[in-house]
Amino acid sequence: MIAIINRILIVDNDTSSVFQIGAVSSRDETIILHVLKKSGCYTEKLIMNGITRTTKFAFPVLVVEDNLLMRKILEASLMEAGYEVVSAGNGREALEIYGNGYYPIIMTDWVMPEMDGLELCRVIRESHSERYTYIILLTSQDSKTEMIQGLEAGADEYLVKPVNPAELTVRLKTARRILDLESSLKTSLEEIKNLSLKDSLTGIFNRRYLNERLPHEIKRAYRYERPMSLIMLDIDHFKAVNDTYGHQTGDIVLKGCADCITGSIRKEIDWPARFGGEEFVIVLPETDLPGAMVVAERLRQLVAGRATRTNGTVIRITASLGVASFDPEYQREPVTAEILAGHADKCLYQAKNGGRNRVIGIQL
């Protein structure tokens, strides 16, 4: 028996599909992915102990109607059209169901006890959910004033009861077209955002991302009173690489250095960024100076030990590294992103002046 305990929306970059992690069982290794497909059906992927089982389901519609007879008629029409139906007797019940999972389409009656259709529309629109929900308002009132009132409350569509099954099917097709558009737009925006924060050559974060995220990371260190470190790495005599072998080879060397960095830090915790040119920054949350010095030294050795082979020549480089750490518990002066990076930069200069290919660190 699989108990639904959580639902999270994620966007998969490979397929541009919208996945919904529908459920996680009591056993951690079991995950269900609800893949909303453009066809109107959606696929459920059950991954259990590494084995994937795929089952196709109909597109879900949440029907909200207090009149039992009307509800049954609607359910029958929708199921006939190939939809999966989940029903609620009023707005409050619908919100409870909606809170436990994403329903792309809600078809709701207007007049209902406890919470009416207009209120339901307003609450859903105010919730600013990650994914768009297309709301169709059903009512026996067909005056212009009421229609405007319904649309103003956040409904996308307005249908007068009794609903004609053919009209219902067409309206649902429109709903799915809008939802598909919304889904592709969201995926594109996500891609654009990712691109704008990544360095195109190395694939790691860029300076813009560093400027945005570093202050948050420092705030977090203060909030949890945890130490934090920042490493600044600069490739030694990089200009000579460009001058001797050309910029294309220089780019290969830069990419190699970025690979060394990503390979030597903790995934999901530490994060690197290209500061500019041949300079990189590595942010190490939850890391004190001795810990950061170990990472920096390992990185120095990795860079120095790496050989870039291109057009029959072997290029070897070294890097100088500056490390700055602080611990909110012992910090007298408040640390900002500028202060932390400034100290790491000073250490980097000392490493350069001391003969390069070395690590210098400071405790703030």
Which residues belong to the active site? 278
Judge contact between 324 and 229, C-beta under 8 A: yes
Of residues 90 and 183, the one with the C-beta less far from Mg ion:
90
Of residues 71 and 343, the one with the C-beta less far from Mg ion:
71
Of residues 8 and 111, the one with the C-beta less far from Mg ion:
111
Distances from the Cα of 355 to the Cα of 35, 239, 323, 349, 352, angstroms: 56, 17, 17, 10, 6
CB of 101 to Mg ion, least distance (A): 24
CA-derived radius of gyration, the chain: 28
CB of 116 to Mg ion, least distance (A): 8
Report d(CA 145, CA 244) in Å as an integer. Answer: 76
Report d(CA 145, CA 184) in Å as an integer. Answer: 34
Q: Which residue has the tokens 């890391």?
A: 287
Report d(CA 99, CA 102) in Å as an integer. Answer: 8
Q: Which residue has the tokens 């072998």?
A: 245
Of residues 74 and 335, the one with the C-beta less far from Mg ion:
74
Both structure tokens of 13? 């970059």
Which run of H or E residues covers position 290?
helix 289-305
Q: Binding residues for Mg ion, per CB under 5 A?
A: 66, 109, 111-112
* End-to-end CA separation in angstroms for the chain: 54
CB of 99 to Mg ion, least distance (A): 22
CB of 283 to Mg ion, least distance (A): 56
Of residues 116 and 156, the one with the C-beta less far from Mg ion:
116
CB of 67 to Mg ion, least distance (A): 5
Of residues 10 and 111, the one with the C-beta less far from Mg ion:
111
Question: What does the DSSP assignment read for 126-187?
Answer: HTT-SS--EEEEEES---HHHHHHHHHTT-SEEEESSPPHHHHHHHHHHHHHHHHHHHHHHH
Q: Which pairing describes strands 359-363 and 319-326: parallel, antiparallel, or unpaired?
A: parallel
CB of 156 to Mg ion, least distance (A): 20
